Structure 1
Amino acid sequence: MFYDSDDCLWLFRLLSIDMCQFKPIKFLLKLAFYAVVVLTGIQTVMFLKKSETYYFLKYQPVYFGSFFILVTIYAASNAGELALAFIRQLEPWPINRLGHVLERRIKRQSTYFNILLIVISVVSLISGILHALPIEDDEEIFYTLAFFQEYFPRWQQYLCFIYRMGFVFLSIVLPAPFLIFMYVGCHSQYQICMLVHVLKTINEVNHTEESSLLLDKNYQEKTKNLLKFCIKRHCQLTNVGREAMNALQILAILFSITTAIFFICMIVFLFSFQGSFEGRYLRLATLIFPAGVIFLHEFFLGQGIENLSTLGFEVLLQSSWYHWNKENKMIYLTFLTNCKNPYKLQFSHSLSIGYELAVSILKSVYSVLSVLGYWNR
């Protein structure tokens, strides 16, 4: 079964996780990975052979971008299984478990993300097609085309066609790891949101006189069971989330390094490129738009999870603990201690996905642009 009809984000799962489980796609992913490794190795030799600054500046964005592509292909091949294992361990509650109001809210957000997914996929595919269509002086940007032209003139047309078709395939595959992360992030948000909803019910009392609650055994027993249930669910969500973050730690570091290097190389190229960008603006727009939208929503999801966990702690603080017996108060204090620090999508002590990271990245981008702009004067 390639999608679950009860999954409100089944389209996300189909176009990210399930798509990469197809045997033909798996084969093409392996083929693309080894092809990029070979072409990157060839270009490394060419850099060492020519040892020219202009030659290096001309081809360095695609060269260093190849490392980002390698990490992404590897993630697309393996992240799907990790995501499914995470969802199984999470044991997600059905979205209709806690009433129609919460269900409608989750469905509205899911509809938004499904529409966003369609827009991202369409624009990415258009970008792949635009990169596949030849434009004058493409060999001044893509070193593989120049390599085919110089060393395989007789087979140039066929080799270049195969290479350009790779852009179409990559436009479908490259967003997959980030879509998987968004899929898991959305479901994590939904589960935390439902837990917060349950926490709010702790204060619901069906009793006429609050002064007698302390002696009401049924009320105290109900409160104890609800507190234990919430603690168990909170621990489950936290432990599974931490295990997932630990499993993805190395992959996140590789993504951070390759993305940062690729971005800097792109900026340097834009300032040093001596050719014409005419006919390439649509390529750049369709490349930047889905990437920007994906990364923006990754930060939103990370911050949303942190905000929801903070909200859960605030809901606990507002509980009517003064109506509880000693045993329930001790359980309550234990729960407060566990919830004191909000949960973050944190891969390391200095790397967590949220607004703070987004602001620091924007500051770094501004600094790089300022320095390069000053040098370009």
Structure 2
Amino acid sequence: MSTSVSSRVLEALVVVIFVEYWIIQVLQSYYLLKIFETRFLVNYSAFYFGDFVLLTALWTILSSKRNLNFIQQDFILWNVNNSDEKIYNKIKNESNIVSGIILLNFVIALAGGFVYMTANDDDEKVFFIYWYIKENFLEWSTIMEWVIRASHPFTSYFLVLPIYMLILKLWHIKFQVYLLLDHIEKIGKCPSFSDKRFQKEIKTSLVFCIKRHISFLQLNYFLSNFVMSFSICGGLVFISLVFFVLSTQKVFDCLKFQKWYDWNDENKRLYLIFMIAALKPLRLQFSDNIVVNYELAISILKTTFSVLSVLKELV
């Protein structure tokens, strides 16, 4: 009963914070279009995109109950204590490491939330909502600001909660895979393959492992829905990478307009070397096997900026 009540209180708190930051995002989006200036964009864009990550995390907490219920109820977890000592020790060691890292990150996140509760003279230049309150509700600004600041420890906790929920579930599944691998390895260890009884045992083991593997496939489908929301967060990181690539691309564009024909041969050779080096803009990639289409993203970004400029003129 107490668990159910605490779960409902937590869910209600998530809803309240989600509505609060959703309203802030709507206001900031309106003002970003209304005051379409570089200074305004530079000051508030960082936390503007950061709030999208927070809203995604909050929405994930509210919408992931069905997926988590499947993992907890429909996907039967094998008892790790019944495994071989070698596998048990391996699972125990990995579990302790992962749990320690997650606990440490939770502590750091909560500490950061309490730090953000502290008022600072530059808050209005970084947090849009504080600037908005001072501009429109000066008499109530102190109370309204502290209402928002009081939510920071909770937002820092909810911000990291979904990803660590997913990490814990994935590691639990990984441990279940260890147990399945142990069963598969034991299939071929029958003393004889000519005896019908042993052939029957092999068949039983194969059917058992196939059914277990099917449950992993079903689990993969549900986790794919759960992971989808984190792709949005990754998209926000990708936007930052695109801005980085876009800025380095200007190096080559700037070089093209140099009056190199007035230079001597040595300087022309150096210029050519520089041109070749700057021909491809700098880019961050995760692996040699993963190709990221920055060019497409940059073209989309330029188109979006052009559309926003037109909207600004219409407004």
Which letter maps to 1:76? I
Give, in whole Å, the separation in 1 of the partners of 2:128 and 2:187.
64
Correspondence for 1:57: 42
Deviation track 1:142-161 (CA, whole Å, cap 9, x = no partner) reads 11111112221111111111
| 1:89 CA displacement | 2.3
CA spacing shift, 1:214–1:250, aligned 2, 3 Å: closer
Of the three residues 223, 232, 253, the one matched with 1:244 is 223
| Alignment-derived partner of residue 359 in structure 1 | 287
Trace 1:98-113 onto structure 2 (pairs within 5 A): 98-113=83-98
2:197 maps to 1:218 = yes
**Distance (whole Å) between structure 2 residues aligned to residue 77 and residue 360 of structure 1:** 37
SS at match of 1:55: helix
| 1:228–1:244 Cα change, 3 Å | same
Aligned to 1:22: 7
What does residue 273 of structure 1 align with? none
Query: Of 48, 56, 60, which residue of structure 2 is paired with 1:75?
Result: 60
Moved more, 100-109 or 173-182: 100-109
Counterparts of 2:151 and 2:245, CA distance in 1? 24
User: Per-residue CA shift, 1:201-237, capped at 9, x if unaligned?
Assistant: 122234xxxxxx3432222222221122112211221
Q: 1:362 to 1:231 in 2, by over 3 A?
A: closer
TM-score, scaled relative to structure 2: 0.72
User: Kindly tell me: are residues 189 and 231 of structure 1, through their superposed partners in 2, closer, same or farther at Cα, counting changes over 3 Å?
Assistant: same
Report the Cα distance in structure 2 between the residues aligned to 1:37 and 1:168, rounded to whole angstroms.
Answer: 18
Deviation at 1:171, TM superposition (A): 1.0
| Paired position in structure 2 for 1:257 | 235
Opposite residue 78 of structure 1, the aligned amino acid is S
In the TM superposition, 1:1-377 aligns within 5 A as 22-206=7-191, 213-245=192-224, 247-248=225-226, 250-261=228-239, 358-359=286-287
With over 3 angstroms needed to count, the CA separation of the structure-2 counterparts of 1:33 and 1:214, relative to structure 1, is closer
Whole-angstrom CA distance in 1 between matches of 2:202 and 2:93: 32
Residue 178 and residue 216 in structure 1: after superposition, are their counterparts in 2 closer, same or farther (change >3 A)? same
Instruction: Supply the AA of the counterpart residue of 2:82.
Output: R
Deviation at 1:65, TM superposition (A): 1.8
SS at match of 2:81: coil
Assess if the C-alpha contact under 8 Å between 2:47 and 2:127 holds in 1: yes
Q: Which moved more, 1:67-76 or 1:41-50?
A: 41-50
Which whole-Å CA distance do the structure 1 matches of 2:288 and 2:31 have between them? 36
Code of the residue aligned with 1:47 in structure 2: it is: L
% identical aligned pairs: 20
CA 1:27/1:179 → structure 2, altered by over 3 Å: closer, same or farther?
same
Instruction: Classify 1:231/1:362 alpha carbon distance in 2 versus 1 (closer, same or farther; 3 Å).
Output: closer
Within 1, Cα distance between the matches of 2:150 and 2:245? Answer: 26
Instruction: State the SS of the aligned residue for 1:124.
Output: helix
Q: CA deviation at 1:250?
A: 4.3
Give the aligned residue type for 1:217: K
CA distance in 2: counterparts of 1:40 and 1:265, whole angstroms: 21
Taking structure 1 as reference, are residues 363 and 151 closer, same or farther at Cα in structure 2, changes over 3 Å only?
A: farther
Following TM superposition, by how much is the alpha carbon of 1:248 offset from its aligned partner in structure 2, in angstroms? 3.1
Q: How many residues align?
A: 256
Maintained 8 Å contact 2:60/2:162: yes
Cα deviations across residues 51-104 of structure 1 (Å, max 9, x unaligned)? Answer: 222112211111222222111110022224422312322211111222333222
Deviation, structure 1 residue 115: 1.2
8 Å Cα contact 1:93/1:191 also seen in 2: yes
What does the per-residue CA deviation read over 1:19-60, in whole Å, with 9 as the maximum and x for residues that have no partner? 9x6222211211111111211111122223222221122111
Between the aligned partners of 2:76 and 2:65, the Cα distance in structure 1 is 17
Aligned to 1:328: none
Q: 1:363 to 1:250 in 2, by over 3 A?
A: closer
SS at the partner of 1:133? coil
* CA pair 198-160 structure 1, distance change in 2 beyond 3 A: same
Give the deviation of 1:360 after TM superposition: 7.0
Amino acid of the structure 2 residue aligned with 1:233: R
CA-atom RMSD in angstroms: 3.1
Distance 2:71 2:86 in 1: 27
In the TM superposition, residue 106 of structure 1 has moved relative to its aligned partner by 1.1
